[in-house]
Amino acid sequence: MSNLTPTIASRERPLRADAARNRAKLTAAGRDAFAQDGASASLEDIARRAGVGIGTLYRHFPARVDLLEAIYVDEVEALCARAGELADLPPWEALVTWLHRFVRYVATKQALVEALLAHLSQDADVFRSCRAAVYEAGEPLVERAQRAGAVRADTDFNEVIQLVVGIAKISATPREVERILDLALDGLRYQPSSR
């Protein structure tokens, strides 16, 4: 794992191999079920999709919110890992690639976040640690692009992320959102004065 790839709060203890496989199958099945049926998807259906019994689901995730939280953390970890995978790209290209991935992540995870917020406050540990991980992954991309002279120096990651989140929430087709993001990112680029 790259030093640009933070991990969210570590799980309590390592799982046995079979338990880890079951957990991964459950989170994958839950991700698919929640995407298809929304946050009220049947837990019995999720267990069936994963090929495990309902008891196995409840051993890993005693409540629906536990499964939602696990899926959310897995998605944030994948997003953060992507930042570390872009280290070989030129600074501007790495930043733009990651921000496009981020805008797609935000657009597809809004329902999951809303379901979690029905059970947790915005200041819950999971949200704090995920926000910190996103900053830890994305901030170096912005700073690297600034050092390379590709991004204007009068901004920071906080402003960039607010811009991207706002764009991700626009009611438009994915293609239109990507186009709007590209237009906004043009404003982020360093432009030497023409005086």
Domain boundaries, the chain: 16-62, 64-188
Tell me the pLDDT band of 12, cut-offs 50, 70 and 90: low
Q: Does pLDDT of 166 surpass 90? A: yes
CATH topology match: 16-62 vs 64-188? no
Average confidence score pLDDT of the chain: 89
pLDDT at position 2 is 35
Residue from 33, 23, 28, 86 nearest 57 by CA? 23
CATH architecture of 64-188: Orthogonal Bundle (1.10)
Instruction: Identify the band that residue 3 occupies on the pLDDT scale cut at 50, 70 and 90.
Output: very low
Q: What is the mean pLDDT of residues 114-124?
A: 89
| Superfamily covering domain 16-62 | Homeodomain-like (1.10.10.60)
**190, 136, 139, 175: which is closest to 160 by C-alpha?**
139
Q: How much is the average pLDDT of 107-113?
A: 82
Q: What is the mean pLDDT of residues 75-103?
A: 96
Query: Mean pLDDT, to the nearest integer, of 133-141?
Result: 97
Residue 15 has what pLDDT?
72
- Position 182 scores a pLDDT of 95
0.75 exceeded by pTM: yes
Mean pLDDT for 156-175 is 93
The amino acid that residue 160 corresponds to is: V
pLDDT of residue 6: 43
Contact predicate 65/121, CB 8 Å: no
Please, what's the b/e burial string for 129-145 (b: 16 or more CB within 10 A of its CB; e: otherwise)? bbeebbebbbbbbbebb
Among 15-29, 59-73, 152-166, the range scoring the smallest mean pLDDT is 15-29
Residue 130 has pLDDT above 80, yes or no: yes
